[in-house]
C-alpha cells in the first residue's frame, strides 16, 4: 500500500523562499538513496507523462547532476544541479539552473538554491526542502517567467488527466 501523506507547501515571498515538507514511509537511508542516486531519481523526479533522463551524475561536493526532462511530444529541457554541501543521510544543498545538453548555463536563466533535509520519524522519514532565489535578479526573473519547470509539468499532467 502506498502511504498518502500530506504535503506542506508554504511560501515566504518576503524572504524569497518556498518550503516543501512531506513524510515518506521508508527509512532515512532508503529515502536518501532515492534522492541521490540517478537510477532511482530518474524513476520519479519528473511528473508523468514527463520523464527524467540523467546524462551524468557525480554526487559529491562540487559535483553535478546533468539531466533532461523529456515531454510526451519528445520536447526536452536540460537542467543541472551543482552540489555544494553534502552530509550523508542528513542534508545536501545545491544550485539548480536550466542549461544546454553540455551543461552550459543559460545566461539569463535564474538560479535557485536548494536545501534538502532528511529526518527520521517514528513511521519513516520527513523530507524538508527549502528553495530560495539566489538574488533579487533571479527572483524577478522567476516571477516573470513562472516556475517554468513546474508549469510545464503541471500542464503535462493536466493533459493526461483530460485524456482519460
Binding site for other proteins (CB under 8 A): 1-5, 7, 9, 11, 13-14, 18, 20, 22, 24-26, 30-31, 33-34, 40, 43-48, 136, 139-140, 143-144, 146-147, 149-151, 153-155, 157
Least Cβ distance, residue 106 to other proteins (angstroms): 19
Q: Which is nearer to other proteins, 5 or 55 (CB)?
A: 5
Q: Where are the beta strands (DSSP E) in 1-139?
A: 8-12, 17-24, 51-57, 64-70, 76-87, 91-99, 112-120, 125-133
SS3 105: strand
Count other C-beta atoms under 10 Å from residue 86's C-beta.
16
Least Cβ distance, residue 14 to other proteins (angstroms): 5
Q: Which is nearer to other proteins, 104 or 121 (CB)?
A: 121
Burial of 162 (0-12, 13-18, 19+ CB in 10 A): exposed
Q: Which is nearer to other proteins, 14 or 162 (CB)?
A: 14
Least Cβ distance, residue 33 to other proteins (angstroms): 8
Q: Does residue 25 contact residue 47 with C-beta atoms inside 8 Å?
A: no
Q: Which is nearer to other proteins, 89 or 149 (CB)?
A: 149
Least Cβ distance, residue 62 to other proteins (angstroms): 26
Q: Does residue 123 contact residue 28 with C-beta atoms inside 8 Å?
A: no
Residue entry with cell 507523462: 49
Amino acid at each position: 500500500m502506498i502511504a498518502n501523506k500530506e504535503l506542506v507547501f508554504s511560501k515566504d515571498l518576503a524572504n524569497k523562499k518556498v518550503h516543501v515538507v512531506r513524510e515518506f514511509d521508508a527509512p532515512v537511508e532508503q529515502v536518501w538513496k532515492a534522492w541521490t542516486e540517478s537510477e532511482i531519481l530518474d524513476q520519479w523526479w519528473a511528473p508523468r507523462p514527463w520523464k527524467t533522463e540523467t546524462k551524468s551524475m557525480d554526487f559529491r561536493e562540487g559535483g553535478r547532476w546533468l539531466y533532461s526532462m523529456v515531454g510526451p511530444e519528445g520536447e526536452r529541457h536540460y537542467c543541472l544541479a551543482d552540489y555544494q554541501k553534502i552530509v550523508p543521510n542528513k542534508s545536501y544543498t545545491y544550485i539548480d539552473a536550466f542549461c544546454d545538453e553540455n551543461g552550459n548555463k543559460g545566461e539569463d536563466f535564474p538560479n535557485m538554491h536548494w536545501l534538502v533535509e532528511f529526518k527520521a520519524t517514528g513511521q519513516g522519514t520527513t523530507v524538508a526542502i527549502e528553495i530560495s532565489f539566489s538574488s533579487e535578479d533571479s527572483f524577478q526573473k522567476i516571477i516573470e517567467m513562472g516556475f517554468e519547470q513546474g508549469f510545464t509539468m503541471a500542464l503535462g499532467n493536466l493533459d493526461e488527466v483530460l485524456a482519460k
